[in-house]
Amino acid sequence: MDTVVGRAEIVLWVRHADGRWSGRAVWVVGVDGKAYVRSAFGRRSAWYRRVLRGAETEVGAEAGGARVSVALEAVDDPELVRRVSGAYRAKYGLSWPGPVESMNGPGAAATTMRLGLSTGQALADPGQVPELSA
């Protein structure tokens, strides 16, 4: 088993109402063994809004590669959101300081979501996804 947390980015696939899928590369970080993602564009991001409405979601290592069904759960604990911000800073801050500050801004931080394997609508074994082909 490999965790998605070790990857620089993952592709988050979200199903549209008409059945189409769209993929978006997102950064992923880990806190206490769980994986977290955020919308770089805050609440105005289409993928984020679809996920909040319960859209089917999958994760892959790259476009066109193997995908795994996942569930995303909104995080509203301010202390956890702060720790996730620290994880973004630690993982990506040296290479991409500008984008990291944007990801840690109030708009993006408000979209923090916990990522886990999907079992219906619940999270199972959060942050653990079978090894994804690179």
Over residues 62-81, the pLDDT tens digits come to 656 688 899 999 999 999 99
Measured in whole angstroms, the distance separating CA 54 from the mean position of its chain's CA atoms is 15
Q: What is the mean pLDDT of residues 106-133?
A: 66
pTM: 0.84
- Dist CA 51 CA 57 (whole Å): 7
With contact defined as beta carbons under 8 Å apart, do 113 and 75 qualify?
yes
Over residues 8-37, the pLDDT tens digits come to 889 999 999 999 999 999 999 999 989 999
Q: Which two tokens stand for residue 99?
A: 């984008």
Q: Which two tokens stand for residue 91?
A: 């993982």
3-class SS of residue 32: coil
In this predicted structure, the answer to whether residue 61 has a pLDDT above a threshold of 80 is: no
3-class SS of residue 112: coil
Q: What is the mean pLDDT of residues 109-132?
A: 63
